[in-house]
A and B are shown apart, each in its own frame.
Chain A
């Protein structure tokens, strides 16, 4: 770890903590700073060397993952949760996944070039979105069956990105899972029960 990143990380952390504690910044901003911290921390841990993907594929995969699960006011994005690394690891150990992902990323570039004269990573955000809007929905194949390989690939990319994100500590926190602790007596919060009973009309 270089001194620079260490210093920057520590600085960011102390800023976030003190500002949030003072009420000077909102939760969303504090979260943003936390995100920064995570990014710097990751960079400090050394650059991950993909086992399967070329540098270009890796860049495309990371971009795709963050388009699927972007950062929002609650939590950071899929790359902060290690989604590309997760996909790389499993694609390395499973030939079917390897073909699905290298093939799918290739399809994405060819299709993007055909439609927008640019590789996916170089396309404008509106162009990227236009292409994803076509392959993110199965029903689009009815009008244009040539989209089928892209739709099949995107289903895998979305599925595994979502898995990587929600199985990470960031995702667990985002979704609010508070278990895996154990209890001495199993108890249900009375206010939660009252809330659901009232809304169900069964109370």
Chain B
């Protein structure tokens, strides 16, 4: 294959356009840096592609998908979801070690997974940065809460986050917009939690309830997951990349699948080699520095595939840690029927997409007594949702039968359910990692990842605690747990889509790939700005910390470029 090299040298090539890449693009172009952005998927056209406000009956398949995908689990987020990616991408496989399970959700479009994600926006707690010091498990981060806090402030102020000052150590307060009022079932959950001494506070969501930087406030249609045409929620595509395009300092290469980072004799990255998917040709972009933000596992894959005589284990991997320390968040869900809600006057509960309240972890001082080392938070669901395909399958499975009595049961029960979902911390373990599959390449000829994944007892015990707690909350509301209380268990690895840790940061080049600025120990002009640098995976969704770290890394890189250090 003939490789085409681009003539201009870009200051920085950013690989990946999700929360990390989008933040890097915004910060660097603001600071006058010329950026080339590589995205493995197409450009995004929200006006055309977001299905906000569309009714199911406005499409013949009612949202099941043209080929009934929703009935066979092939489009887990449904037809109406923002264009976001897949558990399986045609021609781009990954493998899983025999006898194990792992699911990898990848996005191939400008904005990546931020187009559809849950917008939950949580700061890590002070103790989350020092897990080893706290309980002897895992590894401490090379930075503290106080060091990253200014960038949490900047990220929150810029993207816009709802919330309230609560003074809870496990959930540090931030720069907040007014939260939305709790829905009726959420008030009941709050009251029940109050009786159980579980904090239940206004949700922290990347949704603006007041105008911000030319974006208009949320209109409470509840359809954040479909993509927001008014950009009232955070997505890197609409909030960071589209505005940065106006700077004149951003060049976007879409359908560009990064294959390898090319280094020179001094061990610095000089170019990014990528596949132009439209022509299936290999091209190169020359650069002074590179920020890899392709998502944790994809970033690890790129580094592992960037092998050369000087870097036989892959780039930035003299420590051998790239691909190791992979974690996902633990997940467990339970639903309940709440008779108190039956017969209530129907009203519009759409609100912000997702729960208006959540429960941060509350037992951080009692970990020893409860028998497992790390915590979880609880997300809530319920209300009068828009009827959709599969929405009543649970009811029909429970009641069975048919006819007028079934119809009445569905009507009477509508809106009387609550759902609780636990999201907890997994501790990195030796058996969970990704490496390059020695035999399989994707359709572009790039060697693929092979996953190895095992939960430990720590996580299993944590999920049992969720099970008992959720049942208590539902019963405290006078509700009945749906189905067998003992049924179901921990999520499959990868399923919560918080996979991270595969290119971790640290002060010691022997045990980490990146320094405290997410700069490779081995390669001074190589940075990583997604969730790959994370040293642990606390019980808080990673997006805000990705944004904060990327912001800090980008400012550092701009300064280093100015000084001529990279």
Contact = CB atoms under 8 A, between A and B. Distances in A.
Interface string A62-73: 000001111010
B348 A168 contact: no
A178 B346 CA distance: 8
Contact of B66 (A93, A159, A168, A202): A93
A176 B384 contact: yes
A93 B68 contact: yes
B75 interface: no
A70 B403 CA distance: 6
Given A74-B411, A179-B384, A192 B396 contact: no
A90 to B, nearest CB: 4
A97 B64 CA distance: 12
Contact of A166 (B342, B392, B401): B392
A12 interface: no
A196 B66 CA distance: 40
Contact of B219 (A74, A86, A183, A203): A183
B141 to A, nearest CB: 37
Contacts, number: 189
A21 B544 CA distance: 56
A130 interface: no
B400 interface: yes
Contacts of B402: 67-68, 132, 136, 154, 158
Interface string B335-357: 00011111111111111100010
A199 interface: yes
A89 B67 CA distance: 9
Contact of B220 (A86, A132, A183, A191): A183
Interface residues of A, number: 58
Which of B187, B384, B385, B407 is most buried by chain A, counting CB atoms within 10 A of its CB? B407
B68 A69 contact: no
Given A162-B410, A200-B478, A90 B68 contact: yes
Contacts of A67: 402-403
Contacts of B63: 167
Contact of B400 (A137, A168, A183): A137
Contacts of B388: 167
Interface in B50-80: 53, 55-57, 60-64, 66-68, 71-72
Given A138-B400, A186-B351, A195-B345, A200 B340 contact: yes
B184 interface: yes
Nearest to A154: B402
Nearest to A66: B403
A177 B372 CA distance: 42
B384 A163 contact: no
Contact of A179 (B339, B345, B350, B411): B350
Contacts of B358: none
Nearest to A174: B411
A52 to B, nearest CB: 12
B182 interface: yes
B137 interface: no
B191 A202 contact: yes
Contacts of B200: none
Nearest to B56: A167
Listed from nearest, the 8 A-B pairs whose CB atoms lie closest are A200-B340, A167-B56, A182-B219, A176-B346, A202-B191, A199-B340, A179-B350, A166-B387
